[in-house]
Amino acid sequence: MATFDDVRAIALDLPETEERDGGWHMGPSWRVVGGAMFAWSRPVTGKDLAWMREQGRDPGDPVLGIRVAGEEGTRELLEAFPVEAFTIPHFDGYPAVLLRLPLVAPDLLREFVIDSWLLKARKRTARAWLAEQGLAEG
């Protein structure tokens, strides 16, 4: 069972990453320093919550949003992890997926957060980090 403390530990262990208050009705978010968000708390509310309930679906709580590699990345994640991952109309056409955080295994959470960070990190920073980890970029 993953928590925002787990997300925080993974994200802040990555280079050039900072945590910010998400504002609005959101909790924490994680960004590359001086850049875009790659992971964030994202409660499902209003029309999107009503839409999910009409379909007999429950977003669960808490929910983590992560960046993905375009529509193909969204589709692949939703197909591979239908219990853990979902989307809502608000995110149509946006490169992100929502995760039912309590249903995500810790090793899978780490993979999701790192993959999301790699999409937003400076390429030089990402290459250096991957090399440190003994991982080939790809």
User: What are the chain's domains?
Assistant: 4-123 (3.90.1150.30)
pLDDT tens for the 138 residues of the chain, in order: 899 999 999 999 999 999 998 666 678 999 998 889 999 998 877 888 788 788 888 877 888 999 999 999 999 999 999 999 999 888 888 999 999 999 999 999 999 999 999 999 999 999 999 999 988 655
> Do 37 and 31 touch, CB atoms closer than 8 A?
yes
- Return the amino acid letter for 115: D
What is the model's pTM?
Answer: 0.89
> Do 9 and 30 touch, CB atoms closer than 8 A?
no
